[in-house]
Amino acid sequence: MAGYKILLDCDPGLDDALALLLAHGDPNIDLVGVTTVGGNVGLDRTTKNALELREYLRFPTVPVAAGADRPISGETRSAEHVHGTGGLGSVVLPPATLPLSETSAVDFIIETVRALPGAIDLVATGPLTNIALALQKEPAIARWVRSFTIMGGSYTRGNATVAAEFNIYADPEAARIVFAADWQVVMIGLDLTLQAQANSTVINRLRQLGKLADDLIVPLATFYVDPTMPDWDGQAVHDVCAVAYVARPDLFTVQPARVDVETAGEFTTGMTVVDFDPPIANALVATELNVSGFWAYVESVYARVAREHTVPQPSAEVPGSDQPTAGENPAAGHAS
Ligand code: BDR
Ligand code: CA
């Protein structure tokens, strides 16, 4: 029986898709739901991507619920320059045939953690809008979750701006609400995730996994190249780290800290201000990754999914649909 029940709130997104792959593929994780938020690309695209990934990766019974299409306040920001206009870089998946949940992401989060108090590991890998709105509607979710982990923030420098990491920058108000809530946030920030780079050695190993690697994993992990870095050593798989933390906390060094979010700075909006010597901590901040252990874990899960993916899927009739199912139309490819 799976040890962890993960509800993943995400904005797929290259690395969100790789995080979804890990959460789906680790037999120790029961993926209980996927909620989407606008972030890397607009909500319509992040939701489309989540629905298509669900069918392509074959977890058709896991609900996908759509959430906020804009931040609580301020302008909407995207990261299309990193993830491509569709959000999954060059990857094009077969259209989804299975429906979106009729429940909103906010209600889905509340209902899921209410139904299983103390059992859900909530993981957020996009802007924190859905989580903040859920907390405003039902503050008790902070007590009901088993754990809450985010990919977001940093204690050194940002990536969206010098001071701010993208997920926090995209909705600083939401992040402030989330860090002020009555729970301990596990912050897997840039300082940690930049240690998880899919460099050429990792990519060469991933290529050995066959078709799933050719069609999905490698294109997702190699699409973005930072033109400002001449010694570029590969894309960091930020969001994968947040899911990995839940299942393999032994691979991470974390330290208690007080984290506050700057919402009104002239140059620092979206900055996470981290005090590692606070009177009262509200977070555990990740500082160090066991890099070889991390990749051994991630690659073993991806290898498992890649093996299973070669087994033809029994075709399932989708009521009311004349579309082919994902199993009948496995021709994912990447546009060049
Ligand atoms: C984070 O921002 C997004 O672009 C990625 O998906 C990740 O969640 C990294 O700063
Ligand atoms: Ca993300």
pLDDT digits (tens, 9 = 90+) for 132-190: 999 999 999 999 999 999 999 999 999 999 999 999 999 999 999 999 999 999 999 99
CA 49-201-88 angle, to 5 degrees, is 10
Which amino acid makes up residue 303?
Answer: A
Average pLDDT over residues 318-324: 40
pLDDT-based confidence at residue 325 (cuts at 50, 70, 90): very low
Q: Is residue 220 part of a domain?
A: yes
Per-residue DSSP letter, 172: H
Domain holding 28, by residue range, is 4-308
Ligand 1 atom 2, closest CA: 166
In which band, very low, low, confident or very high, does the pLDDT at 329 lie, cut at 50, 70 and 90? very low
Q: Which residues contact 268 (CB under 8 A, 6 or more apart)?
A: 161, 163, 164, 262
The residue whose two tokens read 């990934």 is 53
Question: In which band, very low, low, confident or very high, does the pLDDT at 313 lie, cut at 50, 70 and 90?
Answer: confident
Domain count for the chain = 1
In a domain, 67, yes or no: yes
The answer to whether residue 177 sits within a structural domain is yes
- The stretch 80-101 carries a mean pLDDT of 97
Q: Is residue 224 part of a domain?
A: yes
Q: Fill in the amino acid letter for 313.
A: Q
Does any domain span residue 262?
A: yes
Question: Per the domain annotation, does 139 fall within a domain?
Answer: yes
Q: Cβ < 6 Å from ligand 1: which residues?
A: 13, 15-16, 40, 79, 82, 125, 151, 159, 165-167, 238-239
Q: Active-site residue 83, yes or no?
A: no
Within a domain: 328:
no
3-state helix, strand, coil in the chain (%, to 5): 40, 20, 45
Ligand located closest to 89 CA: 1
> Can you give the CATH number for the domain in which 173 is found?
3.90.245.10
Query: Hey, how many other C-beta atoms are within 10 angstroms of the C-beta on 201?
Result: 11
Q: What is the pLDDT of residue 315?
A: 59
In a domain, residue 128? The reply is: yes
